[in-house]
Chains A and B, each alone.
Chain A
Amino acid sequence: EAQVTQNPRYLITVTGKKLTVTCSQNMNHEYMSWYRQDPGLGLRQIYYSMNVEVTDKGDVPEGYKVSRKEKRNFPLILESPSPNQTSLYFCASREQGQAYGYTFGSGTRLTVV
């Protein structure tokens, strides 16, 4: 089944403790992206990647890092999480043609205390 898999689904952590949210897609998509969703703000792009070793900042990249060493994986790294990074995170990937938009993962709900 074609899908984008994020792990974990839920995570509660403490301020300053490094964490990684993994994202993997099995559709051979070139484009991958991370979004955060906050009430009343919709989805805002954190980082995106157009292909292996090609990444760029989205609208809210502060406090996050990404890497794209393999085509299928696009982990999101929070080196020193803070409470304002408490949010619902979505990973997404897209095939070359734009018509189909992105395929989204099921989301990771992160709480930083």
Chain B
Amino acid sequence: GEDVEQSLFLSVREGDSSVINCTYTDSSSTYLYWYKQEPGAGLQLLTYIFSNMDMKQDQRLTVLLNKKDKHLSLRIADTQTGDSAIYFCAEITDRGSTLGRLYFGRGTQLTVWP
């Protein structure tokens, strides 16, 4: 399968910015996603970015994509304790044999300290 890598843990203080990083290997990725999983809950789509974009901003969330380096990041401004969750990076490719499949990283556990 495709490789999507994330660091496993990140701790920040409330009010600081959080940056969660992700790298992927498939150059044919079309869309890249960030999902959030709160304790005991399912996956919530936070945001996505198309592979021909460099940046996308949505309120406190900023997604940066460096397609050359295959690097994706999620920045959360003014991080709150309610942002504590696991964040998954994911990609979809458009290659024929894997069309429409969603590949996930292992998830980054974000802990926000008051």
Contacts and interface: CB of A to CB of B under 8 A. Distances in A.
Interface of A: 31, 33, 35, 40-45, 48, 50, 58-59, 90, 92, 94, 98-107
B31 A48 contact: no
Nearest to B41: A106
Interface of B: 1, 8, 30-31, 33, 35, 41-45, 48, 50, 88, 90, 92, 94, 99-107
Nearest to A60: B1
Contacts of B100: 31, 48, 50, 94, 98
A99 B32 CA distance: 9
Contacts of B101: 33, 45, 48, 58
Nearest to B1: A59
A90 B42 contact: yes
Contacts of B1: 45, 59
Given A40-B8, A42-B88, A43-B88, A101 B102 contact: yes
A34 B68 CA distance: 31
Given A94-B100, A98-B100, A101-B90, 8 more contacts: A40-B8, A42-B107, A45-B101, A45-B102, A48-B100, A50-B100, A90-B42, A105-B42
What secondary structure prevails in chain B residues at the interface with A? strand
A104 B31 CA distance: 17
Nearest to B4: A42
Contacts of B50: 99
Contacts of A59: 1
13 contacts: A31-B100, A41-B106, A43-B88, A90-B42, A90-B43, A94-B100, A98-B30, A99-B48, A99-B50, A101-B35, A101-B45, A105-B42, A106-B41
Looking at B41, B90, B104, the one whose CB has the most chain A CB atoms below 10 A away is B104
Contacts of A102: 45, 102
B51 to A, nearest CB: 10
Nearest to B43: A104
A4 B35 CA distance: 16
Contacts of A90: 42-43
